[in-house]
């Protein structure tokens, strides 16, 4: 089918978006129908569909103009090369699997009024088998993973991977600093895949295990055997891939294994504590393989997610956890979920050993040294300074009564962040910003909470939080 509208929309997007965004998202879209008033476009999987809806729908509608309606549906084109031109490398030339489901698959009713429902992935019911032949950690399932804004991308990429038979993103690279859930997600993928396809050949390794096996293989001259094992799997998951840095033979081996699996459309997932371009001592060709696929990063979860994680964990371990204690722990530990859980375990252990009920006072007492030692406690002063540098306005202006927009917004952001990241009260926050009234601080908090829906405001706030929590 031909549609000039679709052609010109594509042209406009090509100009408007970065080449990478275009190649990753737009090139996946295929024309399903154009009846003159509604342009119907298809995406090959639900992950891409949700992503486009969340991130590019506005742009698409703007470029399309107010006279036309846009409908996005799940649709795998019959002629795959038409749509899947985004992926470089061997996958491009190898024929993609034919469509498995009847096409097209319209979404539920809401889709027809121009709005596809927001991504909503239901976690799996927690009935994992008691022992796992793949040495999967039984606690690390999708069901026990708490999803929030900071890990949503990585989470939905993992879901999409489990849902699709042939790889959509290959490799999937999960990036995040220590304790943010990389291993958990990797094992979650393992559990869910095995549940869905019990005969799937799944290989999950830490990169230390991989390195050891390669070294032993070389020594014992058993590399052929090792290669066969690795290359026979359907899904290869390697945790903490950054450890192959500086290990030439292992990189060599990984490179060839990667290519073999990739060529036969087998899924590869790796995790890393840093972005591929930040891994030192790694062959350029290995690094470039990581850039072929989707890099999904885990950011620092915000307070709400941290609290939810604590509650979920407490529930799983039958620890009675009052809300104020959960909040206190979540406020005290910001950068590492493992430490967050550690604090919970610690206060619980203390309470049960001393036969006391777990209260806020007790938790403060037990965690006092820990929380202070870190010296990371944020103050309003630090927040105001960081806001001033990110927005490039003077601290004095933030504390002044000037009402110009370019000062009022950062001021409100500062108040919002003080409330979110310190225990300061509204009057104290008002004080910290040059003696404002407590209602000003309260209004600022509410106003910014709402304005986070605006991507521009949100990206500034994210950037400040990133700097604050570093
Ligand atoms: P990493 O591999 O990134 O260092 P892990 O996957 O080992 O981190 O996670 C550290 C701990 O935090 C684990 O116990 C994991 O279950 C927990 N965790 C991390 N993120 C989440 C989350 N979003 N929901 C629930 N638990 C989480
Ligand atoms: Mg890990």
Residue 293 beta carbon below 6 angstroms from any ligand 1 atom:
no
Q: Considering the chain, what is the average pLDDT of its residues?
A: 84
The pair of structure tokens assigned to 401 is 């009564």
**245-267 tens-digit pLDDT:** 999 999 999 999 999 999 999 99
Domain shared by 320 and 243, yes or no: no
Domain shared by 169 and 205, yes or no: yes
Residue 80 beta carbon below 6 angstroms from any ligand 1 atom:
no
Residue 178 beta carbon below 6 angstroms from any ligand 1 atom:
yes
The answer, yes or no, to whether residue 129 has pLDDT greater than 50, is: no
Q: 3-state DSSP call for residue 205?
A: strand
Answer whether residue 94 is part of any domain: no
Residue 145 beta carbon below 6 angstroms from any ligand 1 atom:
yes
Domain shared by 347 and 416, yes or no: no
Q: What is the pLDDT of residue 47?
A: 67
Residue 271 pairs in a beta bridge with: 174
Calculate how far, in angstroms, residue 338's C-alpha sits from the geometric centre of ligand 1: 6
Task: Return d(Cα 320, Cα 348) in angstroms, integer.
Answer: 8
What number is the average pLDDT over the span 383-404?
Answer: 95
Answer whether residue 93 is part of any domain: no
The answer, yes or no, to whether residue 394 has pLDDT greater than 90, is: yes
For residue 104, whether the previous peptide bond is cis, meaning omega lies within 30 degrees of 0, is yes
Task: Return d(Cα 226, Cα 216) in angstroms, integer.
Answer: 10
Block residue for tokens 């820990």: 370
Answer whether residue 259 is part of any domain: yes
Domain shared by 194 and 269, yes or no: yes
Percent helix, strand, coil in the chain, to 5, is 55, 10, 35
The range of the structural domain enclosing residue 371 comes to: 303-376
Q: What is the pLDDT of residue 219?
A: 92
Among the residue ranges 4-18, 83-97, 132-146, 158-172, the one predicted with the least confidence is: 83-97
Residue 333 beta carbon below 6 angstroms from any ligand 1 atom:
no
Higher pLDDT, 165 or 400: 400
Higher pLDDT, 45 or 237: 237
Q: How far from 336 is each of 40, 102, 141, 418, CA to CA, in Å?
A: 43, 44, 19, 21
Q: 3-state DSSP call for residue 105?
A: strand
**423-432 tens-digit pLDDT:** 788 999 999 9
What number is the average pLDDT over the span 278-306?
Answer: 93
Residue 273 beta carbon below 6 angstroms from any ligand 1 atom:
no
Answer whether residue 361 is part of any domain: yes
Calculate how far, in angstroms, residue 191's C-alpha sits from the geometric centre of ligand 1: 15
Q: What is the pLDDT of residue 94?
A: 33
CATH number at residue 402: 1.10.1750.10
Angle at CA of residue 267, ends 262 and 270, nearest 5°: 100
**Percentage of the residues of the chain whose pLDDT score is greater than 90:** 59
CATH number at residue 69: 3.30.300.180
Please say whether the beta carbons of 218 and 167 come within 8 A: no
Calculate how far, in angstroms, residue 341's C-alpha sits from the geometric centre of ligand 1: 9
Nearest Cα neighbor of 294 from 181, 151, 182, 170 is 170
The most confident of 28-32, 113-117, 330-334, 341-345, by mean pLDDT = 341-345
Q: What is the pLDDT of residue 168?
A: 82
Tell which one of 299, 315, 338 to mutate to probe ligand 1, the residue whose CB is within 8 A of the most ligand atoms. 338
3-state secondary structure 29-78: CEEEEECCCEEEEEECCHHHHHHHHHHCHHHHHHHHCCCCEEEEEECCCC
Domain shared by 125 and 240, yes or no: yes
Calculate how far, in angstroms, residue 37's C-alpha sits from the geometric centre of ligand 1: 47
Domain shared by 356 and 238, yes or no: no
Domain shared by 427 and 384, yes or no: yes
What number is the average pLDDT over the span 298-311?
Answer: 95
Q: What is the pLDDT of residue 372?
A: 58
Q: What is the pLDDT of residue 269?
A: 97
Residue 183 beta carbon below 6 angstroms from any ligand 1 atom:
yes
- Classify the C-alpha dihedral 142-341-154-281 as positive or negative: negative
Residues with CB under 5 A from ligand 2 (ion): 182-183
Calculate how far, in angstroms, residue 455's C-alpha sits from the geometric centre of ligand 1: 27
Q: How far from 291 is each of 115, 119, 180, 288, 425, CA to CA, in Å?
A: 32, 25, 21, 5, 46
Q: What is the pLDDT of residue 154?
A: 95
Higher pLDDT, 90 or 242: 242
Residue 184 beta carbon below 6 angstroms from any ligand 1 atom:
yes
What number is the average pLDDT over the span 113-132?
Answer: 37
Confidence band (pLDDT; 50, 70, 90) for 357? Answer: very high
The pair of structure tokens assigned to 219 is 């020594």
* Centroid of chain to Cα 248: 30
Task: Return d(Cα 72, Cα 57) in angstroms, integer.
Answer: 9
What number is the average pLDDT over the span 319-336?
Answer: 92
Residue 337 beta carbon below 6 angstroms from any ligand 1 atom:
yes
Higher pLDDT, 101 or 359: 359
Domain shared by 311 and 289, yes or no: no
Residue 338 beta carbon below 6 angstroms from any ligand 1 atom:
yes
Question: How many domains would you assign to the chain?
Answer: 4
Residue 137: count other Cβ atoms within 10 Å of its Cβ.
Answer: 15
Residue 315 beta carbon below 6 angstroms from any ligand 1 atom:
no
Q: What are the strands of the beta sheet with 267-272, ordered from one edge?
A: 202-206, 235-239, 267-272, 172-176, 294-298
Atom 26, ligand 1: residue with shortest CA distance: 145
For residue 274, the ligand closest to its alpha carbon is: 1
Q: What is the pLDDT of residue 46?
A: 67
CATH number at residue 370: 1.10.8.60
The most confident of 183-187, 225-229, 402-406, by mean pLDDT = 183-187
- Within 8 A by CB and 6+ apart from 193, the residues are 162, 200, 202, 235
Answer whether residue 95 is part of any domain: no
CATH number at residue 185: 3.40.50.300
Domain shared by 319 and 421, yes or no: no
Answer whether residue 442 is part of any domain: yes
Domain shared by 162 and 251, yes or no: yes
Q: What is the pLDDT of residue 77?
A: 64
Q: Which of 298, 315, 339 is the endpoint of a domain?
A: 298
**19-69 tens-digit pLDDT:** 667 776 787 788 999 888 889 998 877 667 777 877 778 888 888 888 788
Domain shared by 258 and 316, yes or no: no
Residue-wise DSSP of 265-304:
T-EEEEEESS-GGG--S--HHHHHHHTTSEEEEE----HH
Q: What is the pLDDT of residue 111?
A: 35
Q: What is the pLDDT of residue 132?
A: 47
Answer whether residue 440 is part of any domain: yes
Domain shared by 161 and 290, yes or no: yes
Answer whether residue 101 is part of any domain: no
Residue 341 beta carbon below 6 angstroms from any ligand 1 atom:
yes
Q: Which of 249, 276, 298 is the endpoint of a domain?
A: 298
Calculate how far, in angstroms, residue 322's C-alpha sits from the geometric centre of ligand 1: 22
Q: What is the pLDDT of residue 470?
A: 63
Residue 77 beta carbon below 6 angstroms from any ligand 1 atom:
no
Q: Which of 76, 106, 138 is the endpoint of a domain?
A: 76
Calculate how far, in angstroms, residue 139's C-alpha sits from the geometric centre of ligand 2: 13
Q: 3-state DSSP call for residue 92?
A: helix
Please say whether the beta carbons of 93 and 46 come within 8 A: no
The answer, yes or no, to whether residue 391 has pLDDT greater than 70, is: yes
């Amino acid at each position: 089918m031909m549609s000039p509208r679709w052609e010109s929309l594509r042209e406009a997007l090509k100009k408007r978006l970065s080449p990478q965004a275009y190649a990753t998202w737009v090139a996946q879209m295929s024309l399903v129908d154009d009846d003159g008033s509604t342009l119907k476009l298809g995406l090959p999987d639900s992950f891409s569909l949700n992503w486009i809806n969340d991130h590019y729908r506005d742009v698409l509608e703007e470029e399309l103009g107010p006279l036309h309606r846009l409908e996005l549906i799940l649709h795998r084109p019959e002629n795959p090369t038409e749509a899947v031109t985004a992926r470089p490398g061997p996958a491009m030339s190898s024929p993609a699997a034919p469509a498995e489901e009847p096409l097209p698959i319209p979404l539920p009713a809401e889709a027809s009024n121009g709005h596809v429902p927001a991504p909503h992935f239901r976690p799996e019911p927690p009935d994992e088998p008691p022992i796992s032949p793949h040495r999967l950690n039984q606690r690390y399932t999708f069901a026990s993973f708490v999803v929030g804004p900071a890990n949503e991308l990585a989470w939905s990429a993992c879901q999409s991977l489990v849902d699709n038979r042939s790889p959509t993103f290959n490799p999937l690279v999960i990036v995040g600093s220590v304790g943010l859930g990389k291993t958990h997600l990797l094992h979650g993928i393992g559990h869910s895949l095995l549940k869905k396809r019990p005969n799937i050949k799944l290989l999950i390794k830490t990169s230390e295990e991989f390195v050891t096996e390669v070294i032993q293989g070389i020594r014992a001259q058993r590399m052929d055997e090792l290669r066969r094992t690795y290359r026979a799997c359907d899904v290869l998951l390697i945790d903490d891939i950054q450890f192959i840095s500086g290990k030439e033979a292992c990189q060599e081996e990984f490179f060839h294994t990667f290519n073999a699996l990739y060529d036969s459309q087998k899924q590869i997932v790796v995790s890393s504590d840093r972005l591929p371009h930040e891994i030192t001592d790694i062959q350029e060709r290995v690094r470039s393989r990581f850039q072929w696929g989707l890099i999904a990063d885990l950011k620092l979860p915000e307070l709400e997610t941290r609290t939810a994680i604590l509650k979920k964990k407490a529930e799983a371990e039958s620890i009675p956890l009052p809300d104020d204690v959960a909040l206190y722990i979540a406020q005290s530990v910001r950068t590492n979920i493992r430490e967050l859980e550690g604090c919970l375990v610690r206060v619980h252990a203390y309470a049960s050993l001393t036969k006391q009920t777990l209260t806020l006072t007790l938790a403060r007492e037990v965690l006092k040294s820990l929380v202070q030692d870190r010296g990371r406690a944020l103050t309003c002063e630090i927040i105001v300074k960081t806001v001033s540098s990110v927005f490039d306005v003077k601290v004095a202006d933030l504390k002044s009564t000037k009402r110009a927009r370019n000062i009022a917004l950062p001021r409100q952001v500062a108040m919002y962040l003080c409330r979110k990241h310190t225990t300061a009260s509204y009057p104290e926050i008002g004080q910290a910003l040059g003696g404002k009234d407590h209602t000003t601080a309260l209004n600022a908090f509410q106003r910014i909470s709402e304005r986070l829906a605006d991507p521009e405001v949100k990206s500034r706030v994210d950037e400040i939080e990133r700097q604050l929590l570093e």
